[in-house]
Chains A and B, each alone.
Chain A
């Protein structure tokens, strides 16, 4: 099987598995306990927090460990918006190409908490215009949320620029950096962000653990109540083995980033150029250069991607059509619609996301297998 869906998830690095292994049956203590076993767990937790803070260029106390990227986005947006609403600030700014974790959270705040939202449009490449974000800012704007890189089309947004604008206006700025975890620098100072969400399984860590960077001094209302873990910002016993694994995975991603980035860009370009050469009526979606290194997203006109994906699966290639859709029925991607694609064309979205395991030979196989599948689906 050739895995070309690294935007969906990634295999856990064996080094990460090794780092996690003591915390299941030996060092299983609860970090809140006072005895030795608990202290060992607390120390592991603190060490993970310091590692992560070092990589993000922030203080350990600014890191909140969560169960996933979605929870991090929820905590950031709900936490800031509800705290601001108490002060009468109810306006949110985001984009139409955010992950559902952001879009649905904002929609819920609008529906149930009288918030208002401005969706700043994107261009055909899925790029957000920082000036448009600035123009949307109002005196009662509570939060701006713009993703670092888009999951469906791979476009990398001008987050640092938007962050500078937000700071000038004194508006908290959140970025969903889930897709960027493995591939982009995550220096929260350079990015000018106040909140940043990550998910471990996107960078060769385990599923079920994520984190949120929260700049100190921000007023964040907790959304999960209970014990006082994570400085009372996220109640619940810390998932020590997963948090240790996530910290190790983020460390490894940082070490590998320079060489992997270069390698994956070359591989991606060979894949994209190869597909454009071999299959008629294909277009690259998203920004042609400002995109995630291994991310190749294509619009294959005149097909429903569902048939292509099944054909690829039967040929041993794992790919997707954008985001994994839980409900199953293919509806045209909201991201592509926001970028100006017609609904029917958006149904032809094919996403091939390369990662650590992929080689030149994988790309060769794909370029051999895909054209006849497209021909068959278009013909049938």
Chain B
């Protein structure tokens, strides 16, 4: 009997092609879509409620994914994961903003939902593996260890948000489109007549309608949006802000300060609820510390080593020296050259060439003895 695989389908082109490729390879493929989030909009007659469009799991997305599954002749189920998604992703994301961080919810989602909840669900259906439409590759090293590599299409690479995976996950994960360029994937979809061949790429903040995370926060966590002062790096007041969560490190626009030299966000001081701004020269860091690190291989390459580090989802990786601390659980990262937007709450992900070593969240605060 063919090996059973669950494909996480979004209705988009990548996961559709992933399902098609696995089906062609002879797997017993089951399509599953997670319902992650729905926000009630206007109540309609009789107590029923309309669902607002949220991009990752709108009615249209379910319909599209179901149409793809039907075309491929595979079973398809939309299953509910709203409670774990709210707990592990949305609430954690709001909490991070409340702490003055700039979180990336995809990391938590991949850790707890896609490769947690959904992988468990796939196992309960008797599946050996979970496949997704991520642009990254799983390779097996000579010693039998599983490795995570960047997608062949570097411009679409998603290994950054998969850096939370370890050996136990990767042995059960298939990433069929990671070996292709996006244009090839679109061509593969078109060749197969898949209806999603021309759909737009999915976005990062799938649960935030219109991509407006500030509006989302004011709806769901108004308590964390408190007005406070804007200070320069010397502590001099320059104005007022409407809530720290509206800002991230390196941000220029929206400061509400007219005239003079452009000012950038250089810090979020939660204790004083103050937004710290500075000139372009005052922006940037050469060293930072991370929280606990997930090592893809299950262990670090050494106590101190050279690697490339990527500090945002779409940022280029830059050379750095990584020195492990606290019994190898966290790291001090020394960049060869300063970066403008080292942002607490984002992940620092380490690479050697195209191979992802792992990563951890960037912590607030300066490293002792550094400027």
Is there a chain B Cβ closer than 8 Å to A259's Cβ? no
A376–B126 Cα distance when bound, in Å, is 8
Q: A104-B48, A112-B45 are in contact. List 4 more A-B contacts (CB 8 A).
A: A306-B80, A314-B126, A328-B35, A328-B78
Residues of B within 8 A of A103 (CB): 46
Is there a chain B Cβ closer than 8 Å to A313's Cβ? yes
Residues of B within 8 A of A376 (CB): 124, 126
Is there a chain B Cβ closer than 8 Å to A360's Cβ? no
A105–B48 Cα distance when bound, in Å, is 11
Q: Which 8 pairs show the lowest CB-CB distances between chains A and B?
A: A104-B46, A380-B124, A108-B46, A329-B80, A107-B47, A107-B46, A108-B45, A310-B77
Scoring A residues 295 to 328 as 1 if CB is less than 8 Å from chain B, else 0, what string do you get? 0000000000011001101100000000000011
Is there a chain B Cβ closer than 8 Å to A377's Cβ? yes
Q: Which of B45, B51, B82 contacts A104 (CB 8 A)?
A: B45
Residues of A within 8 A of B204 (CB): none
| Contact indicator B46/A111 (Cβ below 8 Å) | yes
| Contact indicator B75/A314 (Cβ below 8 Å) | yes
Tell me the nearest residue of chain B to A112, going by C-beta: B45
Is there a chain B Cβ closer than 8 Å to A330's Cβ? yes
Known A105-B46, A111-B46, A314-B30: A329·B82 in contact at CB below 8 Å: yes
* 24 residue pairs A–B, Cβ–Cβ below 8 Å: A100-B46, A100-B48, A104-B48, A105-B46, A107-B46, A107-B47, A108-B47, A111-B45, A111-B46, A112-B45, A307-B125, A310-B79, A311-B124, A327-B51, A328-B35, A328-B80, A329-B35, A329-B38, A329-B82, A377-B124, A379-B124, A380-B121, A380-B123, A380-B124
Tell me the nearest residue of chain A to B121, going by C-beta: A307
In the complex, which range does the number of interface residues on chain B fall in?
Answer: 20 to 34
| Contact indicator B46/A330 (Cβ below 8 Å) | no
Shortest CB-to-CB span from A280 to chain B, Å, is 18
Scoring A residues 208 to 239 as 1 if CB is less than 8 Å from chain B, else 0, what string do you get? 00000000000000000000000000000000
Known A311-B125, A328-B62: A380·B46 in contact at CB below 8 Å: no
Shortest CB-to-CB span from A151 to chain B, Å, is 18
Residue ranges of A at the interface with B (Cβ–Cβ < 8 Å)? 100, 103-105, 107-108, 111-112, 306-307, 310-311, 313-314, 327-330, 376-377, 379-380
A380–B127 Cα distance when bound, in Å, is 12
Shortest CB-to-CB span from B283 to chain A, Å, is 44
Is there a chain A Cβ closer than 8 Å to B120's Cβ? yes
Residues of A within 8 A of B79 (CB): 306, 310
Tell me the nearest residue of chain B to A307, going by C-beta: B124
Shortest CB-to-CB span from A374 to chain B, Å, is 11
Residues of A within 8 A of B77 (CB): 310, 313
Tell me the nearest residue of chain B to A326, going by C-beta: B48
A241–B159 Cα distance when bound, in Å, is 59
A311–B51 Cα distance when bound, in Å, is 28
Residues of B within 8 A of A314 (CB): 30, 75, 125-126
A313–B79 Cα distance when bound, in Å, is 14
Known A104-B48, A314-B125: A380·B80 in contact at CB below 8 Å: no
Tell me the nearest residue of chain A to B123, going by C-beta: A380
Residues of B within 8 A of A306 (CB): 79-80
| Contact indicator A380/B120 (Cβ below 8 Å) | yes
Shortest CB-to-CB span from B337 to chain A, Å, is 49
List residues of B (1-59) whose CB comes within 8 Å of A's CBs: 30, 35, 38, 45-48, 51
Shortest CB-to-CB span from B339 to chain A, Å, is 42
Residues of A within 8 A of B45 (CB): 104, 108, 111-112
Scoring B residues 112 to 128 as 1 if CB is less than 8 Å from chain A, else 0, what string do you get? 00000000110111100
Residue of B30, B51, B78, B126 contacting most chain A CB atoms (<10 Å):
B126
